[in-house]
Amino acid sequence: MFNLSFHLMQSVLPLVIHWFYSAEMSVKHAKPDFSPSQVSEIIKRLYNLTATEIRPLPSYDDQNFYVAPTEGGEFVLKIMNTEDSKNATIIELQTHAMSFLNQNGLPTQAVVPTTTGQLMSLEEVDCGYGCQKYLVRLFSHLPGVTISKVPLTPKLLYETGRTAARMDEVLQKMEHPHLSFLQRENFIWSLSNILLLEGYLGVLDGDPLQEVVKSVIHQYKNSVIPKRSNFRKCINHGDFNDLNVLVQPDDSHGYKISGILDFGDMNSGYYVNELAITIMYMMIEHPDPIEVAGPVLAGWESVFPLNEDEKDSLYVLVLSRFCQSLVLARYSVTLHPENEEYLMITSRKGVKILHQLWQLGKEHVEKVWFQRAAQFSERINGDIN
């Protein structure tokens, strides 16, 4: 059984709808359900724009609409769920991070102020279950498709690593009076909080995967935690996954990164956490997962070289992210058994990769990763020189 405090439950519930996850909110009615006519009214009243096209966009726990107005341009209206709408400071901090990254040359959405100059508005709306308060923001619409839809060439993987590292370097320079809100000590999705998974291991009772997860947590405890004091700190995006990265064609028949989405998981962490998360999600989409980390690492280190302790922890950190996703996916099945089939189909790939990495072992996997990274860096430097 789960031994979770109420506080922990509160922090978990809005988050169960993650990458592998069902689109259903576990908090009753927390997900907004605005109609196109409600959107049209808001767009007119807050932004003085006349929508000619309104189209729903996928979102897990919020509601997003593509909006094209007669006045020109393309926008995304983002309506936060009722839970997250309660803490405007955190949302303001996320918007601030997006703007700061944008000013520093990273492809994030620009926020559009209301006619009275507000970056967000708390709207009281009845979506069919009584009036509730929702924070709404309007953003520019970024071009491109999600990176999950295109072939992950080594060059694109290198670009992904480089972009993630540049993003963290910029975030580290960001100032804000409430940066301390990003500490998020009990945030279950922080890669610093792997030990919290121990409270959920019951979801794997009777499954051989439980032993692997236990061993990974054990390694995290014994080999990563003692080294953490030498990890360089930074603010993590925390969910650099294949649906949060947009790409568009470049000039040489490949793809370049055209967008970074979803800052809802931002938390104070370490550079190497972001790298491990990026590697993990790119592996999920790749036909030969072991080949992923080399080019991502080479791209990452072209911006931010790792120190020995960070390098030595990478294997366990990548495995830890697999465990986090798999365990929390199973947990979400216990909350929403009706979605089991869907959840299990989508998490099967993750289970397979975790087993593979575990069986090959740290030494072998690191050898492949680091050799490929070195080869790739040489190639890139060769191209430049």
Kindly list the residues in this chain that would bind ligand NAG in the complex (CB under 6 A): 48, 71, 86-87, 89-90, 115, 181
Q: What is the CA radius of gyration of the chain?
A: 21
Task: Return all residues near 203 (Cβ < 8 A) that are at least 6 apart.
Answer: 327, 330, 331, 333, 334
Check if the beta carbon of residue 46 is closer than 8 Å to that of residue 63: no
Spatial distance between the Cα atoms of 290 and 353, rounded to a whole number of angstroms: 9
Catalytic residue among 239, 242, 262, 265: 239
Closest distance between ligand NAG and the C-beta of residue 90, in Å?
Answer: 5
Identity of the residue, 90 or 318, whose beta carbon is nearer to ligand NAG in the bound complex: 90
108: left (phi over 0), alpha (psi -120 to 50) or beta: beta
Query: Smallest Cα–Cα separation from 124: which of 94, 87, 79?
Result: 79
Smallest gap from residue 105 Cβ to ligand NAG (A): 29
SS3 271: helix
**By C-beta, is 241 or 268 nearer to ligand NAG?**
268
Q: Is 309 a catalytic residue?
A: no
Cβ at position 70, least distance to ligand NAG in Å: 9
Cβ 180 to ligand NAG, closest distance in Å? 8
Q: Between residues 86 and 352, which has the closer beta carbon with respect to ligand NAG? A: 86
Distance from C-alpha of 122 to C-alpha of 281, rounded to nearest angstrom: 34
Closer residue to ligand NAG, CB minimum distance, 15 or 314: 15
Rounded Cα distance, 316 and 126, in Å: 46
Catalytic residues: 239
